[in-house]
Amino acid sequence: MLRRGDKGPEVAELQQRLRQLSFYTHDITGNFNIQVENSVRSYQSARGISAEPGVYDAATRRSLESETSEPSETSEPSETEEPD
């Protein structure tokens, strides 16, 4: 379960999956902030998912994963990529 205040690669993956469906249009930061919470809430509402609004729980995850592909980049997010 992920909620506002959480950070890390799991949040970045959530942001990327929400972006695939145009529910999230902000930077991929790996920070579960108000924009991510609102995007999760919108997704839950659009899909009729009965869950705590804005919290990425198991039911929300199953639904989101069933209609998105696994993001190719799941490493630690950064706002600017350094060249190799």
User: How far is the C-alpha of 6 from the C-alpha of 37, rounded, in Å?
Assistant: 11
- Report yes or no on 25 lying in a domain: yes
- Report yes or no on 30 lying in a domain: yes
CB neighbourhood size of 66 (10 A): 8
Q: CA dist 29 to 32, 63, 66, 73, Å?
A: 8, 22, 23, 12
pLDDT for the residue 41: 98
**Domain span holding position 52:** 9-66
Q: Write out residues in the chain with pLDDT < 70, as ranges.
A: 73-84
- Report yes or no on 38 lying in a domain: yes
pLDDT for the residue 12: 98
- Report yes or no on 83 lying in a domain: no
- Report yes or no on 27 lying in a domain: yes
pLDDT for the residue 72: 79
Domains of the chain: total: 1
pLDDT for the residue 73: 60
- Report yes or no on 32 lying in a domain: yes
Is the pTM higher than 0.75? The answer reads: yes
- Report yes or no on 29 lying in a domain: yes
